[in-house]
Amino acid sequence: MANKLHVSPSSRSRSPILLCTLSFLALSLLFFLFSLSSSQTRNLSSFPDPNLTLKPETSFVTSLEHFLTVKASKSSPIRDDTVLQVTEEDVKELDEKMFVKESERVYGNVYYPVEFPIRVYVYEMPRKFTYELLWLFRNTYRETGNLTSNGSPVHRLIEQHSIDYWLWADLIAPESERLLKTVVRVHRQEEADLFYIPFFTTISFFLLEKQQSKALYREVLKWVTDQPAWKRSEGRDHILPVHHPWSFKSVRRYMKNAIWLLPDMDSTGNWYKPGQVFLEKDLILPYVPNVDLCDAKCLSESESKRTTLIFFRGRLKRNAGGKIRAKLVAELSGADGVVIEEGSAGEEGKAAAQFGMRKSVFCLSPAGDTPSSARLFDAIVSGCIPVIVSDELELPFEGILDYRKIALFVSSSDAIQPGWLLQFLKGISPVQLRDMRKNLAKYSRHFLYSSPAQPWGPEDLVWRMMAGKLVNIKLHTRRSQRLVKESRSICTCECKRTNFTGPSSV
């Protein structure tokens, strides 16, 4: 008989313990290796989730300080796109390369969405057009005695019109820090849908001597119009930020084909010549608010404190279209529930405006020297329902936003009739007021510039609006390229009126 293997009772009792111990050690080793691998993956990743690491900064001064002293110092050396000499062959070569890229999108195997992302080439301009102007603002910001002729602090005005900084800072930020999916920066011109010109027109206008700024404008004009991409389209696919209506005036007629970023159309003709600006070509951007955001908690707490019916603080006497203010002041002054104050945009003015808007149900928004003013956007972020008395006003992002949900529009002729405006406002039902305040809370995000730029913030809405312009831009660009000498350069009444197809010349 074969020998049987004898296992002692003590051996049988140790086997399960030994197996459990070995299993535990094996699992521990696997967990350790997995943790090590995950850690290395996280460390090597160049695209961390920015939602977890980056808090949006909405203060222009704070954001600019960080940009100049931290980000700019860490960035790689800047390539200069300055062109010394451009030939007709250079322009044809770029046009052919852009045709090849377009063909790849149309006939390639990969489907490209029509709208997004928009591909933008950002010019690398000489530092005197970009960084040096930002440093000039930063180094003189505390010089509070620098005022315009009507007493407004110059640096505060620059902040209100600083859309050129916010857009540029987002476009050139590392992809790991960007949140927007509607636009992507490309580094080859033939890949671009649009070309961004990063020149700070408002800073140069206010902080340089008059002749100095005019000389710089001429340099910028020559630099940009010498570019092959400009010559190819005559500037139709170029974006030019000219958000303050006084800025860049001496040369902007030579760049009338470009897409201008404006505060308003100003159809009064005081600031823009006929044919220079129109909705089909240009884009209106909101002012940067001069007051802090009244968030959901603030709105809830201020609800019972809004004891003023209608509030206004600002310059009471203005030129041109702003003359309606004097008539409104005469009509409303002294009435119950009305607060009208003279004031400017300095630090004290900011605090007073913020306090008054958060105590008011309605905020009066009449035309200034132009049909628009920053006061409208101050009211929106304060939860104060704007009462817009500006017959020629054009509004930012109106293709996306319905302002009837957050503001009341009143004609100038009605507003100055004795007793009409107050009776109208008192007739707004509590239900409508509640709905409008809820919508104000939702809409505020669309008017808060920030770094990093936020989805559905103003920077994002710029590119969503630009998507609607792209086909028309390419239409007019290609049409201008194929017209022969004898062609009648007539397209539609709109084209003829605006001279959109006419070439620029210096």
Q: How far apart are CA 310 and CA 389, in angstroms?
A: 13
**What is the distance, to the nearest Å, from the Cα of residue 230 to the centroid of all Cα atoms in its chain?**
23
Q: How far apart are CA 146 and CA 154, in angstroms?
A: 6
> What are the pLDDT tens digits along the chain (506 aa)?
444 334 444 444 455 555 555 565 555 555 444 444 444 333 333 333 334 346 899 999 999 999 999 988 777 777 888 888 889 999 999 989 988 888 887 776 665 555 679 999 999 999 999 999 999 999 998 876 777 766 678 899 999 999 999 999 999 999 999 999 999 999 999 999 999 999 999 999 999 999 999 999 999 999 999 999 999 999 999 999 999 988 999 999 999 999 999 999 875 667 888 788 999 999 999 999 999 999 989 999 999 999 999 999 987 766 555 578 888 888 898 899 999 998 776 778 889 999 999 999 999 999 877 788 889 999 999 999 999 998 889 999 999 999 999 999 999 999 999 999 999 999 999 999 999 999 999 999 999 999 999 999 999 999 999 999 999 999 999 888 888 766 665 554 444 444 444 434 33
Residue in the block written with tokens 């808060």:
448
Q: How far apart are CA 380 and CA 387, in angstroms?
A: 11
pTM of the model: 0.82
Contacts of 433 (CB under 8 A, 6+ apart): 361, 385
Residue spans per domain, the chain: 60-284, 296-447
346: tokens are 């300095």
Q: How far apart are CA 30 and CA 38, in angstroms?
A: 12
- Backbone phi, psi, residue 239, to 5°: -105, 125
358: tokens are 């958060």
Peptide bond into 113 cis (omega under 30): no
Fold classification of 296-447 (topology level) = Rossmann fold (3.40.50)
Q: How far apart are CA 222 and CA 317, in angstroms?
A: 39
What is residue 69's DSSP assignment? I
